[in-house]
Amino acid sequence: MNSFHYILLSTSIALLAIFVSLPLLRLPNNNHFFFSWRPTIADLVLSNGVIYTSDDSLPFADSMAVRNGRILRVGNYSHVKELVGYGTKELNLMGKIVVPGFIDSHVHLIPGGLQMSQVELHGVNERDEFVRRVKGAVRNSKPGSWILGGGWNNDLWGGALPMTSWVDDVTPQNPVWLSRMDGHMGFANSLALKLAGVTNSSEDPKGGTIMRTSTGEPTGLLVDSAMQIMLPCIPEVSVDERREALLKASNFAVTRGVTTVVDMGRYYPGTSVEFSWQDFSDVYQWADASGKMRIRVCLFFPLEIWSRLHDIINKVGHAMSQWIYLGGAKAFADGSLGSSSALFYEPYVEEPENYGLQVSDYESLINMTLAADNYGLQVAIHAIGDKANDLILDMYDSVLTINGMRDRRFRIEHAQHLAHGASDRFGKLKIVASVQPDHLLDDVESIEKKLGLDRAQKESYLFQTLLNSKAQLAFGSDWPVADINPLRSIRTAMKRIPPNSHDSWIPMECVSLDDALKAFVG
C-alpha cells in the first residue's frame, strides 16, 4: 500500500472519528440532530421509458427522478433508483415517450383566450358558413352590441375576400369586426364602417390600406395600420374578461403539452401600444400574485415603449417570479402574405402594382432598436416578405456595428420568405429565426398564386437551409393565428405535407425529428 492510499485511509478514519465523537445536539422538539449520507429522495421516479433530453451527450434515457417539480436525475434505472425512498411514487412508462414541456416561441395568449369566447371562423371553407356563423352570433346578442371574432382565411373558400354585402342583411343593428387569421386584416360590416367614419373619401393611413370596389366604395376590409381607424370604436375588453382569457388560454396550452410561451401580447399594426402594458399590470401580475399562473411566460412589449420596459427591469430584474420573465421589445417591418401586405422585391403575381407594405418607418425603427439594444433589451422584429427580412437583417447588422458585439440574440419573427443569401446572414449575425411551421399549411394554397412557382419554391419556409447556415430555429404557433399544437407543428416541419396532398412541399427543407424537437424545447 503506497503513501497515497495511507493518506486516504487515514483521512477516512479521522473523519469517522470526528462524527462518532460529536455530541448529539438537542433541538427544540427534543429530537436528535444527526448526520446522514442519504441522498435526496425523489417524489416521483419514471422508469422503462424513452425520455428525450435534447442533450447531445445523452439524447435519450430510460428513467428520471423528480422532486418538488424539479428534475433531480436522468439516466438508466440503476443510476436513478438510488433516489427511491419512503414516499416515492414509481411509474412504469412501459416504453412510452417523454419529452420536456414544449416552449411555444410566438403566441398572443390573451387574444387567443378572448377569441375562444367569440365568433370562431378558423377552418371555415364556404362563404355560406361564414355568414351562418355571423348570423348565429347576432341571434345570441342584443341589438347594438358588437359581433367580434376572427380566424377566417379566404383561401379556404377559393380566395374571394368578404364584403359588407355578405353580412349587412343579417347584421342591421349590430356592428361587426372580424379579424383575418393572420391579424393583419379585419372585416367590418357597413354599420361598423359608419361608426368609424369610413367613407369613399377616407384616405389610406401610412402603412395601411382601406380596400375599395372599382367605384371607390369601401368593401369593409382594413389592412394593417388602417385597422386603427376601427379599433377605437370597439368597446374595450374589461379586466375581468382579459383575466378569464388568460386562464382559458393557459389551460388550453397545457392540454397541448405547452408549459412555456413567448407572448407577443395584444400588439398588432394599428393597435394601441398600451394594451400590452395594461395586460402586464392588470392580468399577469394579478395572476402571479393570486397563484393562478399555469404556464411560464416570457413577455414582449411594443418597441415604442422600450424605455418603460427597461425601467421596470432595472428595478426588479428580468425574472419577476418563477412564472413571469420580462423578455424584450417587438416591432413590425411589414404585413402578411395572406393579406397581400408582406413586403417583397417583386410584386404579387395577381397585383402587379402591389409590392406589399412597409408598416414602420426605417429611421424610427433603427433608432429605437439602437436605444433598446444599448440598454440590453432583446429585440424581435416581425418580417415576412423577402425585402422586409433583408431590411431587418441590414438594420441588425448596423446595430451590431454601432453598439458592438455581445450575446444579444436578436430575433426575426416569421422569416417566411428569404431572398438568396439571407439564410447565411441569419447564421453569421446569430439571429434567431422564430418560425411557425403550421403557417405553411395555411399558406401553401396561395403562395404559388401570389408569388409564382419559382419564387415560392426558392424562398419559402427555408427551415433546413437556415439550420445549414447555423441559424438558431425557434418554433412556435402564432396562436390564435394557427392552432397551438406542437406535435402537429413538429410533423409539419418534418414532412411538409399540405392538406389534400400526399407529397412534401419543397422536401429538401424537411427537418429531422431531433432538430424539430430542439426547436420546441430550447
Is the pLDDT score of 36 beyond 80?
A: no
Predicted pLDDT of residue 59: 92
Predicted pLDDT of residue 39: 66
Predicted pLDDT of residue 499: 87
Predicted pLDDT of residue 9: 30
Is the pLDDT score of 28 beyond 90?
A: no
Q: Is 87 left (phi over 0), alpha (psi -120 to 50) or beta?
A: left
Predicted pLDDT of residue 271: 81
The Cα-based distances of 350 to 217, 359, 384, 450, 461 in angstroms read 21, 21, 19, 6, 21
Report how far residue 153's alpha carbon sits from residue 212's, in angstroms, rounded to the nearest whole number: 19
Q: Is 88 left (phi over 0), alpha (psi -120 to 50) or beta?
A: beta
Average pLDDT over residues 149-172: 93
Average pLDDT, the chain: 90
Is the pLDDT score of 23 beyond 50?
A: no
Helix (H) or strand (E) holding 51: strand 50-52
DSSP string of 68-128, one letter each residue:
TTEEEEEE-HHHHGGG--TT-EEEE-TT-EE-PPEEEEEE-HHHHHHHTTSEE-TT--SHH
For 153-158, the CB contacts below 8 A with 24+ separation are 153/122, 153/124, 153/180, 153/181, 153/338, 153/442, 154/180, 154/338, 155/338, 155/442, 155/443, 155/445, 155/446, 156/123, 156/124, 156/125, 156/445, 157/124, 157/125, 157/126, 157/127, 157/130
pLDDT band at 12 (very low <50, low <70, confident <90, very high): very low
Helix (H) or strand (E) holding 219: strand 218-224
Predicted pLDDT of residue 365: 97
Asked if residue 486 lies in contact with residue 19, where contact means CB atoms within 8 angstroms, the answer is no
91 forms beta bridges with 46
Sign, CA dihedral 95-96-98-103, equals positive
Is the pLDDT score of 8 beyond 70?
A: no
Is the pLDDT score of 180 beyond 60?
A: yes
Contacts of 307 (CB under 8 A, 6+ apart): 371
Predicted pLDDT of residue 206: 86
Predicted pLDDT of residue 479: 96
Sign, CA dihedral 276-278-283-284, equals positive
pLDDT band at 42 (very low <50, low <70, confident <90, very high): very high
Asked if residue 121 lies in contact with residue 74, where contact means CB atoms within 8 angstroms, the answer is no
Asked if residue 100 lies in contact with residue 52, where contact means CB atoms within 8 angstroms, the answer is yes
209 forms beta bridges with 223
Q: Tens digits of per-residue pLDDT, 211-252?
A: 999 999 999 999 988 998 998 899 989 999 999 999 999 999
Predicted pLDDT of residue 11: 31
Three cell numbers, residue 105: 416561441
176 forms beta bridges with 147
Report how far residue 355's alpha carbon sits from residue 455's, in angstroms, rounded to the nearest whole number: 14
Average pLDDT over residues 411-435: 98
Predicted pLDDT of residue 38: 55
Per-residue burial over 30-61, b if 16 or more Cβ lie within 10 Å, else e, is eeeeeeeeeeebbeebbbebebbbeeeeeeeb
Is the pLDDT score of 17 beyond 70?
A: no
Contacts of 86 (CB under 8 A, 6+ apart): 41
Q: Tens digits of per-residue pLDDT, 342-399?
A: 999 999 999 999 999 999 999 999 999 999 999 999 999 999 999 999 999 999 999 9
Q: What's the one-letter identity of residue 109? A: L
Report how far residue 481's alpha carbon sits from residue 479's, in angstroms, rounded to the nearest whole number: 5
Q: Rounded to the nearest 10 degrees, what angle do helices 513-521 and 486-495 cross at?
A: 140
Q: Tens digits of per-residue pLDDT, 442-451?
A: 888 889 999 9
Predicted pLDDT of residue 342: 96
Average pLDDT over residues 177-205: 93
Predicted pLDDT of residue 19: 29
Average pLDDT over residues 469-480: 97
Range in 270-274, 293-297, 491-495 with the lowest mean pLDDT: 270-274
Average pLDDT over residues 449-476: 96
Q: Tens digits of per-residue pLDDT, 264-279?
A: 999 887 788 999 999 9
Q: Tens digits of per-residue pLDDT, 109-155?
A: 999 999 998 999 988 999 999 999 999 999 989 999 999 999 899 98
Quick one: what percent of the chain has pLDDT higher than 70?
93
Residue 481: how many other CB atoms lie within 10 Å: 28
Q: What's the one-letter identity of residue 450? A: K
Is the pLDDT score of 22 beyond 60?
A: no
Predicted pLDDT of residue 488: 97
Total residue count of the chain as it appears in this document: 522
Contacts of 263 (CB under 8 A, 6+ apart): 107, 108, 109, 110, 297, 298, 299, 300
The Cα-based distances of 188 to 150, 163, 220, 227, 324 in angstroms read 11, 8, 5, 10, 36
The Cα-based distances of 93 to 49, 97, 98 in angstroms read 5, 8, 9
Predicted pLDDT of residue 381: 98
Residue 26: how many other CB atoms lie within 10 Å: 10
Asked if residue 97 lies in contact with residue 49, where contact means CB atoms within 8 angstroms, the answer is yes
